[in-house]
Structure 1
Amino acid sequence: MYKPISFFIGFRYLWNSHLPKFKKFITILSILGISISTSSLIIILSIINGSENNFKKNILTFIPHLIITNQNKYINKNKFPKDILQSQEIEKFSTFISKEVIVKNKNNVAMAEIIDFDPNNYDNVKKYSTNDVLDKLKSGENNIIIGKELAKKIHVNIGDKITLIVLSDKKNYFSGKIFNECVFKIINTFSTQNEVDYYQILMNKEDVLKFLNYSKNYVTGWRFWLKNPLDFNINELKKISTQLVVLDWKLQKGEFFKAIKIEKYMMLFLFFLILFISILNIFITLTVYIIEKKNAIAILKTQGLLNWKIMLIFIIIGSSTAIIGSFFGTAISIALIIQNDLLKFFIKIFFHEINITIIIKPFQIILINLISILLTIITIVYPTLKAIRLQPVKLLSNE
């Protein structure tokens, strides 16, 4: 006698030399379907993980995750809401002055945004890849550093002078001056490989205050960088004060991030459909087994085989298919990700000139495999319950 008998019978029904070719084909098809769906899910999730990481690294690094200001975007820095520092999500913060301006160079005009540079907050601009920025952006010299793409757009080079125009505040309307304009010298450019290269201009803080006619203690607001900006709940901070305005990065980049998430869910849905079809295939195969082998099941019951052992036979058949499929799917996906040149080749067949970053998260791989195996086991519960409800007396009475 083979022990444990449930495993012996289960593996024998799963695959043996006497199994009909059609059943072998169905078994292979089920394993193949689970392998494809599992490997596809792992690869897609890894690519999306890379996209989210690039989004966080390349975009959210150069824009504040959170801004606190007032309706006029002109506030005394002594009114800083200290209660916000109780949040564990705050990584760093600083005051800032920012304003949209018109950039004019001969016949070239463009919109841009000036950002103040404070030597005390050098960390905020160290990733802009500028050389000697502390020495060159001196107060009172009207020097600026602009994005490389903005420089190309308005056809200027280092050493050229451009005119910046900004609308005056209402307090200056009585003087008849509707806008302020001033000539600044470009002393350097920065390149971040990010969209800020197209519109940002760095200027010394004292020069910004003078250009915008700001009082000494007044700023646009406070900018914050968070530890986990993708999952931060802004509603908690909106309760700080009704007089303050709390803005987060989603106002600027929310639609792009939503598009990534929608794409993620759509791809997961499509490949879960493949997984569902494969599991349905296993369900149909087991149902056919039970119909064909009902007399054998009745004989086993008359020999004293317990119901739970009969259930275990069919669970072994179904779960073995899922485990084998998940194993091959995981192995294929990891092999393709490690040899990412091959994966990039396949991707570039459909998408030309695309750079992808792939990040594997072991937790996701384990979760995908567990879900596929558990779904298979849940699916085969019904046919196994039907098998143990067979009445040996009725089935064997005509034998």
Structure 2
Amino acid sequence: MYKPIYLFIALRYLWNINLPNFKKFYFLSITSIMISTFSIVITISVINGSENNFKKNIISFIPHLIITNHDQYVKKSDFPKQILNINNIKKVSDLITKEIIVQSKNNISIAEIIGIDETNNYNIKNYNQKDILKILNPGQYNIVIGTHLAKKLHVYVGDKINLILLSNKKNNFSGQIFNQHIFKIVNIFSTQNEIDYYQIIMNKKDSLNFLKYSKNYVSGWRIWLHDPLNLNLYEFKKIINKLTLIDWKLQKGELFKAMKIEKYIMLFLFFLILIISILNIFINLTTYIVEHKYVIAILQIQGLSNWKIMLIFIIFGSGNAIIGSIIGTIIAIVLIMQNDFLKFFISYCFKENDISIIMIPSQILCINMISILLAIFSTLYPTWNAVQSKSARVLSNE
């Protein structure tokens, strides 16, 4: 005799697809769970890729966090060393930056200068420029500008442009004081990012001279974070009192919020599909139990306890969810690993070519666990209701 008996009966029901009126329930339940699991895994993987692109192509170029003051002119010794104890901090470096006016023979524009030296290697590599520090020797006033800014100014490598700084000081006779200097373009960078439209890189010493900063003063400190999407400003505000915090959300916060809203809406819609699939199991299982309530009555007469009878239908109902989840997950993983079809479909529908799809095993496991647990919960009520009926009365009506 097979033991435990309730497991044998449940598996017998699960695999015997030749039972009358059973094929529809069996395949419909598995197909609905498979489609919902497949959809959620694909969707969340695409969202992961979008967030990774957001980190790589946007947040990697703008400061995750800047510590400065109102004038963006702060003494190096004022650096709050206590923030180094915050776990999310990856790297800290001095920051020399300022918005300026750039003028060429053909056009004029607003730009942002960035002063760099050997301490900025972590950021320099993002510009895809080899030996950039060698061509930006101090005292020569050489610069590297973004490709779109160069196109707007109609300038090329070797041309000279005039950088103009508006001073905060006033002169009673001439009004606003201008500080300007001629710089030579020695290279043009292209990052496929919006900084190509406005950023200018120069040697740190040249930037200090141009801005007329004292030797021990900087614009602030640039903070790189391990996870900029989970920036907790409250941790920094507890430590920093007199200084000002400028985080990346000031520039890209609205875009990030839009991405989050789209993420939650998409996941909500696909979880609704999962809920509908679970309801399908609930309805079909309820119908199946009502049609075969005499089988339950016979099992009760044979001495099988109510909780073991419940286990039969719980295993039976959740088995459909497990099979559907596994098949849906396998299909999703295969399509993601061989993602030419997915990229073609996404680019065809949304006209987007640069699509990255990232699977996170813990997320896939969580999706499958939620699907299976919901299926188990959906079987509890119909099975509990079935075992409450009187076996003698049920059999007397057969």
Q: TM-score, normalised by structure 2?
A: 0.94
After TM superposition, the structure 1 stretch with the greater mean CA deviation from structure 2, 305-314 or 168-177, is 168-177
Cα-to-partner distance string for 1:153-204 (whole Å, 9 max, x where unaligned): 2211101111222211126667744322222111111122222122110112
**Secondary structure, in 3 states, of the residue corresponding to 1:39?**
helix
State the match for 2:80 in structure 1.
81
Check conservation: 2:45, 2:359, Cα contact below 8 A.
yes
Q: Greater CA deviation, 5-14 or 53-62?
A: 5-14
Shift of 1:12: 3.8
1:192 counterpart SS class? coil
Structure 1 distance, partners of 2:145, 2:106, is 18
Residues 330-383 of structure 1, C-alpha deviation per residue, up to 9 Å, x if partnerless? 110011011111111222331224221111111111111111000000111110
Q: Against the structure 1 CA distance between its residues 213 and 389, is the aligned structure 2 distance closer, same or farther, given a 3 Å change threshold?
A: same
Query: Paired residue for 2:27?
Result: 28
Aligned to 1:231: 230
Amino acid at match of 1:86: N
Q: Share of identical aligned residues, percent?
A: 62
Aligned AA (1:256): L
1:351 matched to which residue of 2?
A: 350
Q: Which moved more, 1:336-345 or 1:370-379?
A: 336-345
Residue type at the aligned position of 1:8: F
- Cα distance per residue 1:108-137 (max 9 Å; x no partner): 222210011224433331331223322221
Structure-to-structure mapping, 1:327-338, within 5 angstroms = 327-338=326-337
Farther off after superposition, 234-243 or 173-182: 173-182
Change over 3 Å in CA distance of 1:398–1:378 after alignment to 2:
closer
The match for 2:260 is: 261
User: Contact 2:146 / 2:197 at 8 angstroms: preserved in 1?
Assistant: yes
- Structure 2 CA distance for partners of 1:141 and 1:177, relative to 1, 3 Å: farther
The superposition leaves residues 28-50 of structure 1 with CA deviations (integer Å, 9 ceiling, x where unpaired) of 12211111111111111111112
Contact 1:161 1:186 in 2 (8 A): yes
Q: Deviations over 1:291-313 (max 9, x none)?
A: 11112211211110111111011
Letter matched to residue 211 of structure 1: F
Change (3 A) 1:173 1:41: farther
Q: Is the 8 A contact 2:166 2:176 kept in 1?
A: no
Aligned residues of 1:15 and 1:24 also touching (Cα < 8 A): no
SS in 1 for 2:115: strand
Change beyond 3 A, Cα 1:130–1:352:
same
DSSP 3-state at the match of 2:303: coil
Size of the aligned set, in residue pairs, is 398
Which residue number in structure 2 is paired with residue 91 of structure 1? 90
Q: Distance in 2 between matches of 1:262 and 1:181?
A: 45
Give the structure 1 partner of residue 180 of structure 2: 181
Structure-2 separation of matches of 1:398 and 1:100: 88
* CA distance in structure 1 between the partners assigned to 2:17 and 2:46 by the alignment: 41
TM-score (norm 1): 0.94
CA RMSD of aligned residues (A): 1.9
The answer to whether the Cα contact below 8 Å between 1:147 and 1:199 also exists between their aligned partners in 2 is: yes
SS in 2 for 1:170: strand
Distance 1:242 1:120 in 2: 26
Aligned to 2:4: 4
Query: Distance in 2 between the 1:283 and 1:179 partners?
Result: 75
Are positions 1:193 and 2:218 aligned together?
A: no
Displacement of 1:17: 5.3
Gaps of 5+ in 2: none
User: Secondary structure of the residue that 2:228 maps to in structure 1?
Assistant: coil
Residue pairs, 1:38-187, within 5 angstroms:
38-170=37-169, 176-187=175-186
Contact 1:6 1:310 in 2 (8 A): yes
8 Å contact kept, 1:77–1:217: yes
> Which residue number corresponds to residue 205 of structure 1?
204
Q: Give the counterpart letter for 1:72 in structure 2.
A: D
Q: What code does the residue aligned with 2:163 have? A: L
Within 5 Å, give how 1:350-369 maps onto structure 2. Answer: 350-369=349-368
- 1:214-225 matches, within 5 Å, as 214-225=213-224
Distance 1:278 1:189, change over 3 A: same
Moved over 6 A (4+): none
In structure 2, what is the equivalent of residue 372 of structure 1? 371
Deviations 1:10-40 (A, max 9, x none): 234345354345x422321221111111111
Q: Distance in 2 between matches of 1:124 and 1:12?
A: 63
Three-state SS of the structure 1 residue aligned to 2:230 is coil
